Amino acid sequence: MATIFSKIAAGEIPSYRVGESDRYYAFLDINPLAKGHTLVIPKQEVDYLYDLDDETLSGMIIFAKQIAQKIKAFSGCNKVATVVLGLEVPHAHIHLIPINSEKDVDFSREKLVLTPEEFEEIASKLRG
Ligand code: AMP
């Protein structure tokens, strides 16, 4: 059965798309730690990031780099953190999170609640 992230990449489940290539897809995390918190996934369905073949994994980092540059310009943050958890969704993904300090990557913190309009506005700025 397809994972929820495969369905998102296929457009079968809606998402706030940030970027896409033939092999990768980037979209806003629905429970963001900060405005611009983005997930990057390979379209190939693999659970654990480090089970990806070398070429797919390295291509994913290069794709994520382009998205991270846009997030940094959008948010004016100090750095864009690259975090891999994968505890919830069994489809490899990288979190890209705008940060200014260590506490900004604390996943136990309360997440932001944004309206659909706010999500779409952020996504469209990151796509631009
Ligand atoms: P983890 O697998 O531990 O890295 O966490 C999965 C992440 O995916 C969480 O931050 C969720 O908020 C996010 N997430 C789960 N479902 C969706 C969805 N349909 N759209 C956007 N983000 C999602």
Q: What is the pLDDT of residues 24-73, one digit of tens each?
A: 999 999 999 999 999 999 999 999 999 999 999 999 999 999 999 999 99
How far does residue 78's CA lie from ligand 1's centre (Å)? 24
Q: What average pLDDT does this structure show over 86-111?
A: 97
Distance (Å, whole) CA 122 – CA 17: 10
Q: Which single residue is written with the structure tokens 């291509």?
A: 59
Residue 1 has pLDDT above 90, yes or no: no
How far does residue 55's CA lie from ligand 1's centre (Å)? 24
DSSP string, 68-82: HHHHHHHH--SEEEE
Please give all residues whose beta carbon lies within 6 A of any atom in ligand 1, as ranges: 4, 15, 29-31, 39, 85-89
Catalytic residue set = 93
Residue 128 has pLDDT above 90, yes or no: no
Distance (Å, whole) CA 22 – CA 37: 22
DSSP string, 29-63: -SS-SSTT-EEEEESS--SSGGGS-HHHHHHHHHH
